[in-house]
């Protein structure tokens, strides 16, 4: 949501939350609000692109640019699908270069570059503090889908390595079908040292083709808050077996 775009009072409200009752009462979600004309302008432009073209496939062309929203805090917005490749490779690079901590929170983890970087990190940085949370019901379905596709066998192996090599909490949500409640683990964020990625984007291959938005935020204080949140969600659902 964007308000007062084009004015000094411009504001953005984004995150993983859908505008549904289940999102507010049954799911884990994250919301970020910030006041910045530059960031709000890019969100407005992405909306206008979607509105004018009526095409997800032709949206998300806004160039990722850094904005200092307050002293010591830098923010860079990404939009997909046009900037999906740049986004997932930036996330993978942040994972690969993390020195102290890594926190992952996503319903599923299926993006190839992200999976590969997580698996490689386990070998190259064995002492890194890692933890995360995902939706067990959804990832089980992904594993069944991968098992039917020989070209995805490497992803099955990479996910097994990542799942076994990190501390995870795994929510058993209600399987989706018409009329069921939506109680998924729906929060979408990642912390690499003092950098946060947060928005509507799953760490998924299919998400790269959707109209999604993500904020890359450099802020030690905010990274601490998100790391604490992810640890709390992971602890709520216990160890992934």
Residue 156 lies in a domain: yes
Tell me the whole-structure pTM to 2 decimals.
0.96
* DSSP classification of residue 145: H
Distance of alpha carbon 64 from alpha carbon 70, whole angstroms? 18
Residue 103 lies in a domain: yes
Distance of CA 227 to the CA centre of its chain: 13
pLDDT tens per residue, range 172-223? 999 998 889 999 999 999 999 999 999 999 999 889 999 999 999 999 999 9
Residue 107 lies in a domain: yes
Residue 145 lies in a domain: yes
Is 57 within 8 Å of 81 (Cβ atoms)?
Answer: yes
Domain enclosing residue 89, as ranges = 2-236
Identify the residue with better confidence: 29 or 179: 29
Whole-number Cα distances in Å, 123 to 90, 97, 105 = 20, 13, 21
Residue 139 lies in a domain: yes
Averaged pLDDT, 161-182: 95
* Block residue for tokens 């308000």: 3
Strands, E assignment, the chain: 2-3, 11-15, 31-35, 67-70, 73-79, 101-105, 129-135, 167-171, 189-192, 195-199, 213-218
Strand partners, 35: 11
Averaged pLDDT, 107-114: 96
Averaged pLDDT, 96-119: 97
Number of separate domains in the chain: 1
Residue 51 lies in a domain: yes
Residue 241 lies in a domain: no
Whole-number Cα distances in Å, 42 to 77, 78, 189, 214 = 8, 9, 20, 12
Q: What is the CATH number of the domain that holds 75?
A: 3.30.870.10
């Amino acid at each position: 949501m964007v308000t007062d775009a084009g004015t000094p009072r411009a504001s953005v409200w984004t995150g993983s939350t859908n505008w549904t009752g289940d999102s507010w009462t049954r799911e884990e979600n994250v919301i970020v609000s910030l006041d910045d004309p530059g960031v709000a302008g890019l969100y407005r432009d992405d909306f206008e692109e979607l509105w004018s073209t009526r095409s997800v496939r032709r949206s998300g062309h806004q160039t990722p640019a850094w904005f200092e929203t307050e002293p010591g805090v830098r923010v860079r917005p990404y939009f997909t699908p046009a900037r999906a490749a740049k986004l997932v490779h930036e996330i993978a690079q942040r994972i690969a270069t993390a020195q102290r901590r890594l926190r992952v929170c996503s319903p599923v983890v299926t993006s190839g570059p992200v999976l590969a970087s997580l698996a490689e990190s386990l070998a190259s940085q064995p002492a890194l503090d890692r933890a995360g949370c995902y939706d067990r019901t959804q990832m089980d379905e992904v594993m069944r889908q991968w098992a039917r596709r020989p070209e995805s066998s490497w992803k099955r192996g990479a996910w097994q390595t990542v799942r076994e090599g990190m501390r995870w909490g795994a929510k058993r949500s209600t399987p989706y079908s018409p009329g069921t409640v939506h109680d998924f683990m729906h929060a979408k964020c990642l912390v690499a040292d003092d950098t946060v990625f947060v928005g509507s984007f799953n760490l998924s291959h299919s998400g790269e083709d959707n109209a999604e938005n993500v904020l890359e935020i450099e802020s030690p204080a905010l990274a601490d808050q998100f790391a604490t949140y992810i640890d709390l969600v992971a602890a709520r659902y216990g160890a992934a077996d």
